[in-house]
Chains A and B, each alone.
Chain A
């Protein structure tokens, strides 16, 4: 033992080392108890958190329900959609890869910028959409080039397709990416999926919940960066496809109706007089709904908006037009029900009715002579109605028009219906804060002035007149829950009388729409009523100098051509309404289209020559 070390110094070190050792051990004691706390006391909580960390549930997108017409023809389907995605972490040179890809499919500068932006904000393994809706030729070319394009992945998915293009566009609407509003209103996680589409308008929108189906889920194990490292096949709930929907529409009749319009603008409806099923619902012109699914280019969008015939506007349910003389049935029924005039009573038409210092003119300047009620409708004499309305009053006509279905909207699953207007004194006070004048009634009784209706409403009116007993309501979807129709509550004798008058319009010499055998089916006759809706005021001076002929006016000042009708006259099966914007006289184009589509509807329903039906579809 070295003696140059004082023992007391060594003893101090030993004592303090012992203190230190005890302190060190107690620190280990604290650490051990902490470990016990974490791993035993709190273990369950941390185990749950660990599981939470580890597992994700990926959403499996269900296939959207398809939509068929009444014959089973698909009108909205899901077709294979060809897409190309890029997985950034597998691409060595983004620019070079996009250049190569650009030689196969067009890649705009803006698209390239968007792709690069997407790459920047997403994790490196997240597939970035390069392009979708590719045609098969481009898609197969990309597939061939795959060895030269590392990181580029061609994918097949499902996209909405409308095989009839624009034919059902106003009925079906279209699907698109959910906007912020939709996301706020709907918590369905499906809406948060990047490729998911929801209905934006029409049936696609109103029946979206049914069409959507329910999401499936797939349990996956993910790492801290969100990458899937394992798929748990045993923990999978398959997606439930959306419900298929059948429409009451007939694609063949729809196509026929649309083509009957040619380049004209307007709307037409064919409706079942017994059930209210809509067989055809056309707004012309239309647009290709497929364009909206794939994302419309600005130029195409501007083009649609600039068209004076407003292809995007659903005229058949959303257009409010003066019903013109087709309104006279309501006035006639009201007069009969109020018993203010005998059907046999004759009123003389001299071409105008004077009211104060104003003349209310008949459409026929030299007048119709002595008219009873039937002839007044047959020849659409305005003066007859000017005279009776002064005794009848507009309130009763309004009530009758409402009974017949005007002024109301119907739950057919398409948004954008217009209620139109049925004026009377109370209405004018409420709407315009002005007093009702007799002149207002004279204008209104012939369906001009304040009266406004949509083609759908006119078709409902026509169907209720044809039916005679039930206030049938229109519907579009097969199997929709409908309340039983209310009784019309109009004297059947009066109904028969009006129907007979409408028959005379079409089937008796002198009727405004007289054309025997118009339906093209032996011995089947129809009934109807013309209407010519003025869109401009004609001054007294113009009446003196001679009214400018419709054909000489600019398109947007010409009269609307309107026709309502039903067939067969004896046992009404279908009713129809046709409105051609600025089409001129109701006896012209609207009557022609209405005859054609009623005839076509009856034939498609199995009436008439079966050999013709069996032949090639027109």
Chain B
């Protein structure tokens, strides 16, 4: 039987697991509809751009999907180091938006290297554990390597400052370490260390506004117009939607602009207000389907690199969804995390679709043999 890597480009495209692109496109189209509604029925205020980006992203995803998994294996470390260099570049040459320096401008293109890093770090970790013999995973050299790969970008992103992305990166990294089979003793030790150091970090390691958001969430401040206002209005939007919602484009909280950022981070409030519990659960259902497909693809692979890569990318995407939904529903502090593929915004969409492309590639080349490296970096 001819395997995927032996066939032509069309054969490869036919062999792709098409359920994943279809689900991603569905979610993206939900975004187009919701942005259209939140813009008061104006096609030009984002919905059009979102659709264009979605199409471009899907094409990019397919392009990435047919790239041989060997390439991603060999590109893992260079990509990671490249992203690290770009993050350092942000430190020195970055553009400030809303008080935090997250963007790099190259000609007309402005992008966030931290989005690149999310993929690159997962690739690097997957490569690291692919090369590392299983028995060394919980040994000091294994731990040190993982801590370095996860810790360096986290520190740089935290300095921008972007607490949300930094935490996302950290959590997805730790989950890969967990998947790689790290000893339970180490896990328990790590959890304890995190539990002790978190309050100290919140006290000294955060910017004023980040602390304010966290304090607001825990009810320590009564600021009615800032983050508290956002959460309150967000809950009013969801709650007033009821079971079936107010109907498409009938959301008053949305159309009268009571919920700030309702085309970007708070777009789920538009779904909840206009389509109610039914719409909210259906949206969550599509996400669950998407992640389930990803898990199935991971399990179909035999290579450590492929499996960890797919699972890591899936976890990273799922983290976005969890944090965003928890934030919108008032279960988490307001951190600037968009709802992937639905929120208006280019970088995250491209990053997510690129991740999906890599997942597809790993699955497409699941039978490809991948050499084990020496067990050291590079």
Interface residues of A (CB under 8 A from B): 1-2, 4-6, 8-10, 12-14, 16-17, 20-21, 24-25, 27-28, 30-32, 34-36, 38-40, 42-43, 45-47, 49-51, 53-54, 221-225, 229
**Inter-chain contacts of A5 with B (CB < 8 A):** 302-304
Say yes or no: A46 contacts B238, CB within 8 Å.
yes
Say yes or no: A47 contacts B272, CB within 8 Å.
no
Say yes or no: A46 contacts B235, CB within 8 Å.
yes
Assembled-state Cα–Cα distance A39/B239 (Å): 4
Closest to A43 in B: B242
Say yes or no: B240 contacts A2, CB within 8 Å.
no
Say yes or no: B284 contacts A32, CB within 8 Å.
yes
Q: How far apart are B342's CB and chain A's nearest CB, in angstroms?
A: 15
| B240 in complex: contacting residue of A1, A17, A46, CB < 8 Å | A46
Known A31-B329, A50-B252, A53-B258; judge A39-B302 contact (CB<8 A): no
**Inter-chain contacts of B242 with A (CB < 8 A):** 39-40, 43, 47
Say yes or no: B257 contacts A28, CB within 8 Å.
no
Q: How far apart are B359's CB and chain A's nearest CB, in angstroms?
A: 14
**Inter-chain contacts of B134 with A (CB < 8 A):** 6, 8-9, 12
**Inter-chain contacts of A38 with B (CB < 8 A):** 235, 238-239, 272, 329-330
Known A20-B179, A46-B235; judge A32-B281 contact (CB<8 A): yes
A-B complex: 6 closest residue pairs judged by Cβ atoms:
A46-B239, A50-B240, A12-B181, A223-B256, A39-B277, A224-B257
Known A20-B175, A223-B256; judge A31-B326 contact (CB<8 A): yes
Say yes or no: A222 contacts B256, CB within 8 Å.
yes
Assembled-state Cα–Cα distance A407/B291 (Å): 96
Closest to A7 in B: B302
Known A20-B179, A28-B284, A47-B242; judge A34-B329 contact (CB<8 A): yes
Assembled-state Cα–Cα distance A224/B225 (Å): 11
Say yes or no: A50 contacts B295, CB within 8 Å.
no
Say yes or no: A27 contacts B322, CB within 8 Å.
yes
**Inter-chain contacts of A9 with B (CB < 8 A):** 134, 181, 304
Known A40-B242, A224-B257; judge A16-B181 contact (CB<8 A): yes
**Inter-chain contacts of A49 with B (CB < 8 A):** 236, 239-240
Secondary structure class of chain B's binding surface, majority of residues: helix
**Inter-chain contacts of B120 with A (CB < 8 A):** none
Say yes or no: B299 contacts A14, CB within 8 Å.
yes
Q: How far apart are B188's CB and chain A's nearest CB, in angstroms?
A: 15
Assembled-state Cα–Cα distance A615/B369 (Å): 124
Cβ < 8 Å to A, chain B residues 176-231: 178-181
Q: How far apart are B327's CB and chain A's nearest CB, in angstroms?
A: 11
Secondary structure class of chain A's binding surface, majority of residues: helix
**Inter-chain contacts of A39 with B (CB < 8 A):** 238-239, 241-243, 272, 276-277, 280
Say yes or no: A4 contacts B372, CB within 8 Å.
yes
Interface centre among B134, B371, B372 (most CB of A within 10 A): B134
24 contacts between A and B (CB under 8 A): A4-B369, A4-B371, A9-B304, A14-B299, A16-B179, A17-B307, A17-B311, A21-B295, A27-B322, A31-B326, A35-B277, A36-B277, A38-B329, A38-B330, A39-B241, A39-B272, A43-B243, A45-B239, A49-B240, A53-B233, A53-B253, A53-B256, A53-B258, A221-B252
Cβ < 8 Å to A, chain B residues 311-328: 311, 315, 318, 322, 325-326
Q: How far apart are B321's CB and chain A's nearest CB, in angstroms?
A: 9
Closest to A55 in B: B252
Say yes or no: A13 contacts B307, CB within 8 Å.
yes
Say yes or no: B302 contacts A1, CB within 8 Å.
yes
Interface residues of B (CB under 8 A from A): 134, 175, 178-181, 233, 235-243, 252-253, 255-258, 272, 276-277, 280-281, 284, 287-288, 291-292, 295, 298-299, 302-304, 307-308, 311, 315, 318, 322, 325-326, 329-331, 369-372
**Inter-chain contacts of A34 with B (CB < 8 A):** 326, 329-331
Closest to A225 in B: B257
**Inter-chain contacts of B295 with A (CB < 8 A):** 17, 21
Known A9-B304, A27-B322; judge A50-B236 contact (CB<8 A): yes
Q: How far apart are A82's CB and chain B's nearest CB, in angstroms?
A: 34
Q: How far apart are A141's CB and chain B's nearest CB, in angstroms?
A: 39
Interface centre among A42, A46, A224 (most CB of B within 10 A): A46
| B302 in complex: contacting residue of A10, A43, A54, A223, CB < 8 Å | A10
Closest to B229 in A: A224
Assembled-state Cα–Cα distance A40/B311 (Å): 34
Say yes or no: A13 contacts B235, CB within 8 Å.
no
| A46 in complex: contacting residue of B236, B257, B369, B370, CB < 8 Å | B236
| B318 in complex: contacting residue of A16, A24, A223, CB < 8 Å | A24
Say yes or no: A20 contacts B325, CB within 8 Å.
no
Q: How far apart are A413's CB and chain B's nearest CB, in angstroms?
A: 46
**Inter-chain contacts of A21 with B (CB < 8 A):** 291-292, 295
Say yes or no: B304 contacts A13, CB within 8 Å.
yes
Say yes or no: B325 contacts A31, CB within 8 Å.
yes
**Inter-chain contacts of B315 with A (CB < 8 A):** 20, 24
Closest to A54 in B: B252
| B298 in complex: contacting residue of A17, A51, A229, CB < 8 Å | A17
Closest to A46 in B: B239
Assembled-state Cα–Cα distance A398/B297 (Å): 113
Say yes or no: A35 contacts B280, CB within 8 Å.
yes
**Inter-chain contacts of B307 with A (CB < 8 A):** 10, 13, 17
Q: How far apart are B362's CB and chain A's nearest CB, in angstroms?
A: 13
**Inter-chain contacts of B330 with A (CB < 8 A):** 34, 38
Say yes or no: A40 contacts B240, CB within 8 Å.
no
Q: How far apart are B366's CB and chain A's nearest CB, in angstroms?
A: 10
Assembled-state Cα–Cα distance A311/B288 (Å): 85
Q: How far apart are A452's CB and chain B's nearest CB, in angstroms?
A: 60
Closest to B272 in A: A39
Assembled-state Cα–Cα distance A25/B314 (Å): 13
Assembled-state Cα–Cα distance A5/B258 (Å): 55
Q: How far apart are B319's CB and chain A's nearest CB, in angstroms?
A: 10
**Inter-chain contacts of B288 with A (CB < 8 A):** 25, 28
